[in-house]
Structure 1
Amino acid sequence: MTTRRDLLKFSALAAAASALPSFAFAQGAKPVGKAAKPLNILILGGTGFTGPFQVNYALARGHKITLFNRGKRPSPEWPGEVEQLHGDRNTGDLKSLEGRKWDVCIDNPTSLPFWVRDAGKVLKGNVGHYLFISTISVYADGSKPGISEGDALAVYKGKDAMAETQEALRADIENLYGPLKALSEAEAHKQFGERVTIVRPGYIVGPRDETDRFTYWPHRVAQGGEMLVPGDGSDPVQIIDGRDLGEWMIRLAEAGTVGTFNAVGPKDPLTMDAMLRGCQQAVGGKPTYTHVTPEFLEEQKVGELPIWTSAKSGPYAGYGAVSNKKAIAAGLTYRPFDTTVTDLMAWFRSLPAERQAKLRAGITREQEADLLKKWHAAKR
């Protein structure tokens, strides 16, 4: 079942996405109008999963874009001029940002408070609005549906949050990820004052998603045959298309919107069964769905069924029903579910055959067959 550890593992995979093939699948077909006022936008990161969606949308809206990253991965071919600055936040190398001014800074990759502190040292007074990508994992209690932005945050219990490193984070993901993200949010307010926007996504999906956490489901549906489905089908599921998230970030910047928002979707509640039916409508396939209980999955030590969490119990039972009312009121919109699935699978099928053959999330067909056999045997 999904845990905070899974969220970080999948987020790390997403952040590792480089200049992926067939980027055209990620562009979207609707024409984009120009913004009322062009902005000078600095994006920290920008070449991972959602960053390119921000860049492309911002360029289409008429904004000027500067990217700051290590330059370790090739950038996509942008449809306009993009300035590229290099440095390394792990070592505090932000020299290329010194003496520059921007209207907006969007901070995509940060999970360590000292990254925000160091950015503040260079950018404070030189940036009018700071937008920080956080996570729903910052909440102290993920067990109750309806988590809202004002709920208590996870507490850091280590010795020195500013001394934490990526290596330490990877070694103790379960205990450090949420608390360090929460402290990064606090540091953002400390460094940039009231002109701060905190965006807390859950599962980000769609084209360019290298994690396969959502891809597993439409991919499996398309294969057909008897399919193992966790729970009774009524458990809530929340996902957001990376394009919807990235484009909304730019609109928040344009509007100068500040505050904290849960960036989860869709707009209306989505159950596990409804998600699978939507996948089937988008990709075809003739699966037969066999629901198994959470207790059976726990007994079989199955921990690789992404996206789904049981709404009945557990520390993450509320992760599928986080409140998004505030974000919707602030202009977050969602493209149709079948568009997300269709575009995702078109992109995924453009990848090399060997990449498609081994998904990075979910269970194998062999594991599934074995579980189904044991389930049917237990029901006799």
Structure 2
Amino acid sequence: MDSALVIGGTRFIGRHLVEELLSHDYDVTLLTRGNRENPFEGDDRVDHVEGDRTNETSLEAAATTGEYDAVFDCVAYHPSDVRAATRVFDDCEAYVYVSSGAAYGREEIPKREDETPLHSCTPDQATDDSFETYGNRKAEGDRAVFAAAEEGVRAMAVRPPIVYGPHDYTERLDWWIDRVNRFDRVVVPGDGTNLWHRVYVEDVASALRIVAEDGQAGEAYNVGDRRLVTVEEMVELIADSLDTSVDIVNAGPRELAAGDIALDDYPLYREYPHVLSTAKLAALGWESTPLEEAMDRAVTDHLESDRDGDENGPDREDEERVLGVLDTL
């Protein structure tokens, strides 16, 4: 393969995917609405087609601009998006859909591609835009991939959990980096053993490329950090990257109540562990970036940005009340 169309490639996962493809000598074309700054503006290796991916006519127009060996769909948020793309690009060598670990409909450890059931999706959920139906819509997108493969399209899905790293506009990890960078004492919800699988963004990008090149039609592949860390261990990784130390203060529901804070007010907190098996992807030759290296890059990018994730978690003033209560115990 030597040519690729990236549907959505200027913000986060798509941006890193473009860089991954360029590093492997692909000619890359972006399909975006043109509403955001294009970090590849002026790079003669990257063409840009303007269009709305939710409009099938825009997809058809993009298809006429060139012949693409691989199509990567980074911004398909409704199953109709996937069905349209697999129709328009049915003759490409690979169509890869960015799905999500949220597509899984049963809590088990770990979640495996060929065993763990997916969420159901009603017609109303399929057209909804709320966070509550995100997993349902992603699951139905996966089923659209499987259906396209049965019709002869080499379509595949990649399922990441929480993605972190440079240019992360969600700012979930930024909230924690900011806390560790600014304060000597960091409140960690619960006993610190909360486990929510995460994945470094460059590893998602390499997974997408590898699946396009070597994956099997009609298959889904989980992607996630090979070594998982608890939320407390994550804070320690951040502190090491910042070359600092912090006093980690665990606070349960009773203590957090002093600041009118709930456990799930904290970003990257999940009551039940969310763990994905990545053995299927590893069998294709994919490898995960060492956690220390991934966190160093994420922290460096945070320090060079103006992101603080402030809207993602509790106010520090509320946490100070919690710390005050704990100090009296």
Query: Partner of 2:89 in structure 1?
Result: 123
Aligned length: 320
Mapping of residues 16-165 of structure 1, within 5 Å = 38-77=1-40, 80-94=44-58, 95-99=60-64, 100-125=66-91, 127-142=92-107, 144-149=108-113, 150-159=115-124, 161=126, 164=127
The 2-side partners of 1:160 and 1:116 are apart by: 15
Superposition misfits of 4+ residues, deviation over 6 angstroms:
none
Aligned CA-pair RMSD: 2.4
3-state DSSP of counterpart to 1:152: coil
Instruction: Name the structure, 1 or 2, with higher relative contact order (CA <8 Å, separation 6+).
Output: 1
The 2-side partners of 1:54 and 1:187 are apart by: 22
Distance verdict in 2 for CA 1:368–1:138, change over 3 Å: same
Distance verdict in 2 for CA 1:297–1:331, change over 3 Å: farther
Deviation at 1:138, TM superposition (A): 0.8
In 1, are the aligned partners of 2:162 and 2:199 still within 8 Å (CA)? yes
Alignment deviations for residues 197-251 of structure 1 (CA, whole Å, 9 cap, x no partner): 2111111001101222112223212223222111222332422111111122112
3-state DSSP of counterpart to 1:156: coil
Distance verdict in 2 for CA 1:158–1:148, change over 3 Å: same
Q: Which deviates the most, 225-234 or 42-51?
A: 225-234
The 1-side partners of 2:62 and 2:314 are apart by: 44
In 2, are the aligned partners of 1:248 and 1:331 still within 8 Å (CA)? no
The 2-side partners of 1:158 and 1:91 are apart by: 19
Deviation at 1:61, TM superposition (A): 1.1
Query: Partner of 1:307 in structure 2?
Result: 268
Which amino acid is the alignment partner of residue 8 of structure 2? Answer: G
Distance verdict in 2 for CA 1:284–1:294, change over 3 Å: farther
The 2-side partners of 1:305 and 1:291 are apart by: 13
Deviation at 1:273, TM superposition (A): 2.6
Unpaired stretches in structure 2, ≥5 consecutive residues: none
The 2-side partners of 1:102 and 1:362 are apart by: 42
Distance verdict in 2 for CA 1:169–1:295, change over 3 Å: farther
Deviation at 1:369, TM superposition (A): 0.8
| TM-score of the superposed pair, with normalisation by structure 1 | 0.77
Which amino acid is the alignment partner of residue 265 of structure 2? Answer: E
The 1-side partners of 2:86 and 2:245 are apart by: 53
Distance verdict in 2 for CA 1:192–1:69, change over 3 Å: farther
Deviation at 1:50, TM superposition (A): 1.2
Query: Partner of 1:262 in structure 2?
Result: 222
Residue 307 of structure 2 corresponds to residue 347 of structure 1: no
Query: Partner of 1:318 in structure 2?
Result: 273
* Aligned counterpart in structure 2 of residue 231 of structure 1, from 153, 172, 190: 190
